[in-house]
A and B are shown apart, each in its own frame.
Chain A
Amino acid sequence: MQYMLIMRSDDAAVAEYKEIPFEQIIEAMGKYNESMMEAGVLAAGEGLSDASEGFVVDFSADPPLVTDGPYGETKELFNGFWILDVASKEEAAEWAKRCPLGPGAKLEVRRVTGPEDFPADNEWVQKEEGWREEQAAKKAAESPGGSAA
């Protein structure tokens, strides 16, 4: 199963982070990432640039409204993520606890859904089913010999 570790930091933590030499942060994070690579659990991960460089698309308006700057309040901003292949929720927690973060920083840990999470009677799954049948029928019409090995 996959879990996503979502890094969130409040303003104080971000300010404090800026006090620490960049090299030191890179090294600590590098070691952390390496340990997860060596254990074979790291499936993906990216850091995000400063939220002030980002923008928000708000669908309350039609057409959606694009606003420059960070999303909502700046406390607990989303700064980066990892996706881990682990055997259990507890293993995800164990990896999360090892992340080199300090006070004010939090990791939100969420399970990544897989195909098993979507019920077969779900509307979209059924639509997809219908689409597949259509395609299959089309293919059968094109090649009367049937499908390949």
Chain B
Amino acid sequence: MAHDGTARRAEDSARRAVVAIWRIESARIVATLTRYTRDFTLAEDLAQEALADALAQWPAQGVPRNGAAWLTQVAKRKAIDGWRRQERFAEHVAAVGADLERAQDEAADAVPWDPDEIDDDVLRLVFTACHPVLSQQARVALTLRVIAGLETTELARLLLVPVATVQQRIVRAKQALAEAQVPFETPPRAERRQRLSAVLGVIYLIFTEGHAATAGADWMRPELSVEAIRLGRRLAALQPDEPEVHGLLALIELTAARFPARIDADGEPVLLPDQDRRRWDRGAIRRGRAALARAEGFGRGLGPYALQAAIAECHATASDFASTDWPRIVAAYDALEQLAPNPVVRLNRAVAVAEAEGPAAALAIVDALAGEKALALGHLLPSVRGELLARLGRDEESREAFALAAERTENARERAVLLARAAARR
């Protein structure tokens, strides 16, 4: 019946409105509730329950004028009901009484949080979601759910795991935070740098998982990378005085700028030298360069993300592969190596050396890396070796190297590319 169709469409559009408002407001709602209940785990539960209520009620009752206020009020009411059931109301009223009264007086239209406090609370929430007591997997899941405001089903789809697995990760993460009695705070000065780098690490992990899918048939999951970029921009707004926050943002914007050229019309990956640079996203390059300039502007030297961003900038500003400023890239890799010796960095440096000085010099570097544990099982070393050997005309060895690389990668599309390279050397 036509009427049913209209009703269903209205219901669907209300449901999508709930999801959209949640995407925008989840962090502030959960931060507000954490401050209110003094318990992140409870706050997250309450927020999820309020979200479920909205999904059930808004399609029938219509979308409220201020969705965030609605969700926050519903969650606060649930907190009060819970305390009443546990007969702990008096205890909590004593603690949060003033806030409670204020909450009840609030008009439904008003912003349900204190604008002067909310940014600090959201930042505390970011540090909580990326806390070192959590596994990387748990940090990723919690950050995407609480800060980025992804629904569980959407989160499962993007992480390529079943919904039950996501739910389990979230539950365990919250248990771990509760058991460790992690306080709702920005880290003390002594831990600050390390904790911030954990946050940056989570955002970068989300980004790389989106642009170089380690498993599965897809070469890229750009939606996941876009989430990381949004998180990076958000962090840059919350922590504008930290150069590496801008360095990370620069790196992911500049890397994402190449996405439109990374896949051809048949969905096959196109590597950097063969990419059509006219397809690169100029807006993203502009944003990435602005963020890098900001990181450089602190004048304190560049951190590892900013250095990688500087390398990405060399690519972004070169009109083609051959005219790239390879010596500058080699220098950036040298600086990276100075900060933190890392065989993967040395391997990438070798790739730049191949362009700056030729394949023989590069091959010597690569062969010196053969004993490195970090590279022993991956496909990177043999795939770079295969390329260099090919350039040196050592076809048989090149083919073997590509075949080994193909065997080692877990990404189906990448394997196809490597096998094709091996076949081309016959």
Contact A38 B234 (CB under 8 A): yes
Contact B351 A40 (CB under 8 A): no
Which residues from chain B contact A145 at a C-beta distance below 8 Å? 359, 390-393
Contact B21 A136 (CB under 8 A): no
The prevalent SS among residues of B at the interface is helix
Q: Is A71 at the interface (CB under 8 A from chain B)?
A: no
Contact B271 A147 (CB under 8 A): yes
B274: contacting residue among A39, A88, A120, A147, CB under 8 A: A147
Contact A87 B287 (CB under 8 A): no
Q: Is B265 at the interface (CB under 8 A from chain A)?
A: yes
Q: Which segment of A11-19, A62-70, A91-99, A103-111 sits at the interface?
A: A91-99
Interface residues of B in 240-297 (CB under 8 A from A): 260, 265-266, 271, 273-274, 276, 278-279, 283, 287
A135 to chain B, nearest CB (A): 9
Closest to A142 in B: B322
The tally of residues in A whose CB lies under 8 Å from a CB in B reads: 33
Closest to A37 in B: B237
Tell me, in angstroms, the Cα distance from A10 to B231 when the chains sit together.
Answer: 37
The tally of residues in B whose CB lies under 8 Å from a CB in A reads: 44
| Chain A CB within 10 A, most for which of B238, B283, B355 | B283
The prevalent SS among residues of A at the interface is mixed
Which residues from chain A contact B238 at a C-beta distance below 8 Å? 38
A87: contacting residue among B20, B233, B279, B424, CB under 8 A: B20
Q: Which segment of A20-28, A51-59, A125-133 sits at the interface?
A: A125-133
B117 to chain A, nearest CB (A): 14
Contact A91 B354 (CB under 8 A): no
Give A106-149 as 1s and 0s: 1 = Cβ < 8 Å from B's Cβ atoms: 00000000110000100001001100100010000000011111
Contact B279 A115 (CB under 8 A): yes
B409 to chain A, nearest CB (A): 14
Which residues from chain B contact A76 at a C-beta distance below 8 Å? none
Q: Is A44 at the interface (CB under 8 A from chain B)?
A: yes
Which residues from chain A contact B321 at a C-beta distance below 8 Å? 148
Closest to A126 in B: B265
Q: Is B33 at the interface (CB under 8 A from chain A)?
A: no
Contact B283 A44 (CB under 8 A): yes
Contact B265 A39 (CB under 8 A): no
Contact B24 A37 (CB under 8 A): no
Q: Is B19 at the interface (CB under 8 A from chain A)?
A: yes
B230: contacting residue among A40, A83, A120, CB under 8 A: A40
Q: Is A90 at the interface (CB under 8 A from chain B)?
A: yes
In the complex with contacts A38-B237, A40-B232, A40-B233, A149-B387 CB distance below 8 A: yes
Contact A146 B390 (CB under 8 A): yes
Closest to B227 in A: A87
| Chain B CB within 10 A, most for which of A40, A41, A132 | A40
Which residues from chain A contact B354 at a C-beta distance below 8 Å? 148-149
Known: A40-B231, A94-B21, A129-B265. 18 other contacts (CB 8 A): A38-B119, A38-B237, A38-B238, A40-B233, A43-B287, A85-B226, A87-B20, A88-B20, A88-B23, A90-B20, A115-B279, A120-B266, A125-B265, A128-B276, A145-B393, A147-B273, A148-B391, A149-B384
25 A-B interface contacts by CB (under 8 A): A37-B237, A40-B233, A87-B223, A90-B13, A90-B16, A90-B17, A91-B20, A91-B24, A94-B20, A120-B265, A120-B266, A128-B278, A132-B276, A145-B392, A145-B393, A146-B391, A146-B424, A147-B274, A148-B321, A148-B355, A148-B391, A149-B351, A149-B383, A149-B384, A149-B387
